[in-house]
Chain A
Amino acid sequence: MADLELSGIVKSYGAATILHGVDLAIEDGEFVVFVGPSGCGKSTLLRVIAGLEQVSGGEIRIDGQTVTNVPASDRGLAMVFQSYALYPHMSVYKNMAFALENMGLAREEVDQRVRRAAEMLRLTEYLDRKPKALSGGQRQRVAIGRAIVRDPKIFLFDEPLSNLDAELRVATRKELAALHAEIGGTMIYVTHDQVEAMTLADRIVVLRAGRIEQIGTPLDVYNHPANLFVAGFIGSPRMNLLPSRVTAPNQVTIGNETRPVSVPSTGSAPVGSDITLGARPEHIDVVPEAEADVVIALDLVEQLGGETYLYGSAPGLPQITVRQDGQAGHERGQRLGLRLKREALHLFDADGHAIRIR
């Protein structure tokens, strides 16, 4: 186990800069998830940490030691690849033993470590099989096993579940969480799937276009998004972001609506300025039109059994999503009055930065 510190990490390919001065400190034993849309630089950042990509600027320190120019093979890290990257001509046993043989460990020690990891990952009966004779989930477990046996300073996971089907992804996610609880290593995990980020992470690092947008615990990021990007990215379905205008201190109007909506605070946003009002689907109530902040016409009703999603539109606003518990009896085309829960509202100024209202 080890801690990691990144200072001003820059990575460029020719004229294209992928990472713009990333600063990050990861504690010993922490499970940190890099999350962001495709092309945000999260995998590049992981590969830079691994040593598979050379940095264009900045410094990487592991346990206080600068490793910026140390080759990947000497950093003592282990990586689980998106494609598993198993050695196809070797058995499961040999795949896991390969790195240990490189380390020059005695045969008994190698055998002991491989069998212990195989037992932990329920792979004992597959040790003689080649990777092609395994299912996707089993292959992924072998890839994880290959990392575990080395007892690395830091585990790096590059979208390890993205090639698995939905059911297997959920199961493997739980196994990963259990594994972290059991072995307690420092883990850095890259994903574009926010559910993985929310469920696995001690801390989430939200990236966009090579810059960190926010770092925080999953609930902190969910409850207090630092800006419009994070607000829209974290949460499924995504937060409703409604263009609004400050009409008076602590009062706004939403879209083309004229009725004033009182909010806990409009912060430093001056009267007359444009802001964005954010409300998560579960923080919107269906109310009689007279009490509503916004009235929508229902475009779509999704009944999931335990919950219902309502999608509706109102003039001058993007589509609004509402989550209701249970099986709501609404129909397409119906008009619905919506009221935003004041205590869970989010406000963003014209530049997209969050306005602290709580």
Chain B
Amino acid sequence: MTLSSKNPPASSALAGSAQTRRTSPFLRQVARIVDWPMAALQRLIGERRMPYVFLLPNLFFFGLFVFVPIAINFWYSVTGGPALFPSERPYVGSGQYSYLFECGSYADPSSCREDHFWRGVYNTVTFSFFQVVAMVGLSLLTAVVLNMKIKGRGFFRAVYFFPVLLSPVVVALIWKWILQRDGILNAWITAMGGDRVLFLTEPTWAMFWAIFVSVWSHMGFYTLILLAGLQAIPSDIYEAAEMDATPRWRVFWRLTLPLLWPNLVVVIVLALIRAVQTFDEVFVLTGGGPGTSTLMVVQYIYETAFSNQVQNFGLAAAASVVLGIVLFALTLAQLAYTQRKSS
């Protein structure tokens, strides 16, 4: 396809190159067919506008399925009533937001008018904090070990990455099978003479296992990012440290960690964004229970909009706007950091 009228059409320009000599005649024919309308369009609108022509199709679908739903969601959040069609919903201004934020004390979810939302917020904050700390710590440890010259390194790298490929629902179902009252873990404990533990129906255990399963299933992804970061540190820096008689712990704290810091920041922010959005694994594993002890914000939004007897689209939309703002702020922080580092 032609981008510059001064240059010959791409298909003919490439015709003499070794690259095109290997291209099949069919593909060359296709290139010729596509070439002339593009050349005609370029003559019509000019070379400078051509990139937008290529961007437009994707931009259209991206807008249709991302920006339009965001706008509709915002409209829902400032409207009330049970009606589904936006045009039939009465405007209530910031009413839904006022309702969400109406609290006796923000430290006590039960004092809030919409206590489930705040319970979800507190659970999400707790979950995110411990999940991110555990995720980053264990990913870092695993990456450091997998970066060493150990036997079967390739095998272990694959093993740690494998859970990432599984569907979160499958992961949760497997762990539910292991952890439930009559699950494999309790079977083993009772076989060893112990008492059954209510892993999924006792609040503290339920939160622990929600975090554990989430870390187990996503750790491979973050390990991979950190492993790439570790491998990007030149080996001669470690050799220089060895010549400088640097103790191992000091090599880690003073060299590895600072040099890995840009990757760590990316991992922390990505893990945090993902943790805040957690829904499927915890929903399948505990259903948000026992009670509301593992209810996350996204589950609250889902249930408020679709699963409660009274479907409150407006309130759910307002909660999702609040969550969206938090995620947007986290993403901006990550982008700002990445850009600052790259510049």
Contact = CB atoms under 8 A, between A and B. Distances in A.
A167 interface: no
Nearest to B248: A73
Interface in B252-282: 254-255, 258-259
B43 interface: no
Contacts of A103: 245
B246 A102 contact: yes
Contacts of A89: 258-259
A150 B244 CA distance: 8
B237 interface: yes
A86 B239 CA distance: 11
A88 B245 CA distance: 18
Interface residues of A, number: 23
A87 B234 CA distance: 10
Which of B239, B243, B244: most chain A Cβ within 10 A? B243
A102 B255 CA distance: 13
Contacts of B259: 88-89
Which of B236, B240, B242, B259: most chain A Cβ within 10 A? B240
Contacts of B255: 87
Contacts of B153: none
Given A85-B234, A89-B258, A102 B240 contact: no
A50 B258 contact: no
A84 B164 CA distance: 39
B244 A85 contact: no
B21 interface: no
Nearest to A143: B240
B236 A85 contact: yes
Interface in A204-218: none
B245 A74 contact: yes
A67 to B, nearest CB: 14
B247 interface: yes
B250 interface: yes
A79 interface: yes
B244 A99 contact: yes
A73 B236 contact: no
Given A81-B236, A85-B237, A87-B237, A73 B246 contact: yes
B246 A52 contact: no
Nearest to B233: A88
Contacts of B239: 52, 72, 79, 81, 85
Contacts of A81: 236, 239-240
Task: Specify the main secondary structure of chain B where it touches its partner.
Answer: helix
A226 B287 CA distance: 84
Contacts of B244: 73, 98-99, 102, 146, 150
A98 B258 CA distance: 14
Contacts of A99: 243-246
Contacts of A83: 234, 236
B264 to A, nearest CB: 13
Contacts of B243: 50, 52, 72-73, 77-79, 99
B236 A102 contact: no
Interface string A278-299: 0000000000000000000000
Nearest to A98: B244
B247 A102 contact: yes
Contacts of B246: 73, 98-99, 102
Contact of B242 (A73, A88, A98): A73
A86 B242 CA distance: 13
B245 to A, nearest CB: 4
Interface of A: 50-52, 71-74, 77-79, 81, 83, 85-89, 98-99, 102-103, 146, 150
30 contacts: A50-B243, A51-B242, A52-B239, A52-B243, A72-B239, A73-B242, A73-B245, A74-B245, A77-B243, A78-B243, A79-B239, A79-B240, A79-B243, A81-B239, A83-B234, A83-B236, A85-B236, A85-B237, A87-B237, A87-B241, A87-B254, A89-B259, A98-B241, A98-B246, A99-B245, A102-B245, A102-B246, A102-B250, A146-B240, A146-B244
